[in-house]
Structure 1
């Protein structure tokens, strides 16, 4: 029995040594392959916790992780001193999730602040417009939403008194901030007094003028919706149930309702045709061996 135990112990030791040798050999080959491969791993600075718009970036909110060099995003940082040189502060201009790489396009410059101008399209302008509780869609317009801008005003260049009218001022405009909140991760409705919109230079001028001549309202739009090539003017004469009738006219192209798929019953009624004139009757009179024909009119009462 003792001899058998020694044999089993010896076999176990040999198996263990073989396993250690194979593991060491495998790890050595992996290290050699990584050392010779140009597609190794590099250090990348990522957010260690979620970062909202305007959050100061400090060393405790950053960590370094290994990242494949062949799939490295543009604008990353390889060290914390590179991200925060000389302890200069930066702030987040875009919301970032935990473990998301910190990119130059998502943060401010050294010593910067959370400026709306940093996230603007280079060809656009940011314009703030005043809103009421109803005009702001009850607080459901949030940063990142797309809206149409409506203007309600009283025309001054028309004869008579058409009352107030409402026009579509701008279509599919992106909201970049509500009051002081510019985070597009916001999902809770909040009543705001101002909305900052991203528009072109000319549209910025329109918004500035529109706020002086009328009241602005926002209408939420599906981002996938298409803009209408023509817009209509609605006046107080159109405040009735049913289709738009175009009570206000300022010389602009009028609305043309689509053709009906079927004719209404009154249009389908057959039109009674006037009776055809009655042809004259021919009467033949025979006298002896001679006959004569006479045309006589039909009696109108028949």
Structure 2
């Protein structure tokens, strides 16, 4: 075999090995880089986090999820959620979202649960007013007011407030209990105008809470009284008949006809 042939064979082997090495490196880079390029860190709950609970480090963890599958307000690190207050109950495996958390800016955790421009007002209750003890934080209720009418013993009941969120029962803003618990006070979330209506109703009579279905988020439509318009007077069925005058053929009298009555008058000639 000539030297030229050996040179060509050696060059072919070197080029083949180089191509194989480059292909292997490119394929390995693609396989190793693909997960990092298509996945993102997402914080999820490792245990159930009740409404009003402060999130702790052992409550959450980070998992890898494909990009575009997590909500826009999801978190990518646990230190961004630790210390916040859960405004909704989160189950194990739920993605921790910013819309379900509130900043704890000091003081009680209850203050962090109140929405902007709203207030927390406590109502004294018993086992009846508190719906048999079935009220829990996160439930929604209507408020009915009963007051006496006039000086008699008659009373009237009216729904004065609707769809109010229960922030706390007694001094508990979070609970995982489902059994009824009789409490002495219930704290409700409402606007300042609704708070004025509630306080006034407390001084006038007795209050009663009505537990709402969580799926029923519609309030009763307001009934607007329409102005009463008097109906026009009906047109007379029979027009007034003018008296018909007929002169007698002999010229000795005048016959006056009024409806069915006939009157004959004598006329002096």
1:77-226 correspondence to structure 2 within 5 Å:
77-84=75-82, 89-109=83-103, 112=106, 115-155=109-149, 158=150, 160-183=151-174, 186-222=177-213, 223-224=215-216
Q: Does 1:74 find its partner at 2:68? A: no
Distance 1:172 1:106 in 2: 19
Distance 2:140 2:164 in 1: 5
Distance 1:162 1:71, change over 3 A: same
Count of residue correspondences = 200
Gaps of 5+ in 2: 1-24, 227-269
Name which one, 1 or 2, has greater alpha-carbon Rg. Answer: 2
1:260-279 correspondence to structure 2 within 5 Å:
none
Q: CA RMSD in A?
A: 3.5
Shift of 1:26: 8.2
Listed one character per residue, the Cα deviations across residues 257-296 of structure 1 (whole Å, up to 9, x for unaligned) are xxxxxxxxxxxxxxxxxxxxxxxxxxxxxxxxxxxxxxxx
Distance 1:180 1:30, change over 3 A: same
Shift of 1:191: 1.3
Whether the 8 Å CA contact 1:143–1:186 is kept in 2: the answer is no
Distance 1:134 1:205, change over 3 A: same
Whether the 8 Å CA contact 1:91–1:114 is kept in 2: the answer is no
Matching residue of 1:227: 220
Distance 2:103 2:115 in 1: 17
Gaps of 5+ in 1: 1-23, 231-251, 254-302
Distance 1:211 1:60, change over 3 A: same
Distance 1:122 1:66, change over 3 A: same
Shift of 1:27: 7.3
Distance 1:138 1:32 in 2: 59
Q: Which residue, 47, 50, 58 being the options, matches 2:48?
A: 50
Distance 1:172 1:54 in 2: 19
